[in-house]
Structure 1
Amino acid sequence: MPGVASLAAHQYYAHPRNAFWPIMGELFGAGPSVPYEERTEILLRSGIAVWDVLKLCTRHGSLDSAIVESTIETNDFASLIAAHASIERIFFNGAKAESSFRRYVRPTQAVSQIDFVRLPSTSPAFASMSFERKLESWRSIVCADA
């Protein structure tokens, strides 16, 4: 689920200390200095789509740990995958995205032909890993077919 800054800006990863867009800048030229609409177009041209596991939930603040589990509603991955049969991999931005997917989506929707990869969270709350180490892990989205 997007955090408070992202919801207010109507943009994914809008918090200025989130490493997502700086990493996308390094990998695809879609960094934070590029206008948001252009960044998303660059990612799409590169075969990357950004979508939340959770469609709706109640959460006070931006921390994933504050999500009220009983309020979770997931996005419709079965329809997404049916409409885009070429999807081969889903990369999760952190442990909460992966665990939410595995708990709420995977058991109930047919996505068995897809590889799932958890990457380190780009959130500023995950400060124990350096930007450089996050970037190295995220390089796998470019080298996924290698």
Structure 2
Amino acid sequence: MQNRISSFPPIVNEDSKIIILGSIPGVKSLEKQQYYGHPQNKFWKIMFELLNENFTEDYQERINILKKHNIALWDVIDSCERKGSLDSEIKNEEANQIKELLEEYPNIKTIFCNGGKSFKNLQKILGKNFKVPFYLLPSTSPLHTISFEKKLEDWKAILKFL
């Protein structure tokens, strides 16, 4: 049997208006105990660009900036078995309690999924006509090979919900 991995706790507060959901942290993120910890993942670069903030490597500062802009962060998968970092290798997954989190934080009015695995899993968890709308964004993973500019353009969709 493969090693079971677990996601991180949600980054959320009462002011959060949107939540961005990934699938589950990759190997580098788990090693660093940070969301989107792989140096080639474009998540943080995209967020700082969109929010017009100065880029920082300081993880706590990154979290503070998301909170300042009312953005929550979590994963759809609580735990699973996986070798490596590929979503396609995920097996025996357990879902995070997304519905419960949304009930606890009613100011969250929109969900964005970072990549297809997150989106497909969320559809299974919430159903297609859930009261909070959710949208698919291109994965910020280096394995999703569309250009940074294209990812950034698509991710601008979050701005109208902040």
How far 1:106 sits from its partner (Å)?
1.1
Within the candidate set 38, 54, 74, 1:51 is matched to 74
Equivalent residue letter for 1:75? N
Which structure exhibits the higher relative contact order, with contacts defined as CA atoms closer than 8 Å and separated by 6 or more residues? Answer: 2
Give the RMSD, CA atoms, in angstroms. Answer: 1.4
Residue 119 (1) aligns with residue 134 (2): no
CA contact (8 A) 1:2 1:12 kept: yes
Name the SS of the counterpart of 1:49 in structure 2: strand
Q: Which structure shows the bigger proportion of residues in strand conformation?
A: 2
Aligned to 2:155: 138
CA contact (8 A) 1:30 1:39 kept: no
- Between the aligned partners of 2:46 and 2:160, the Cα distance in structure 1 is 14
**TM-score, normalising length: structure 1:** 0.89
Aligned residues: 137
Residue 106 (1) aligns with residue 126 (2): yes
Q: Which structure shows the bigger proportion of residues in helix conformation?
A: 1
Aligned to 1:85: 106
Please list every run of 5 or more consecutive structure 1 residues that lacks an aligned counterpart in the other structure. none
- Between the aligned partners of 1:131 and 1:100, the Cα distance in structure 2 is 25
**TM-score, normalising length: structure 2:** 0.80
Identity %: 43
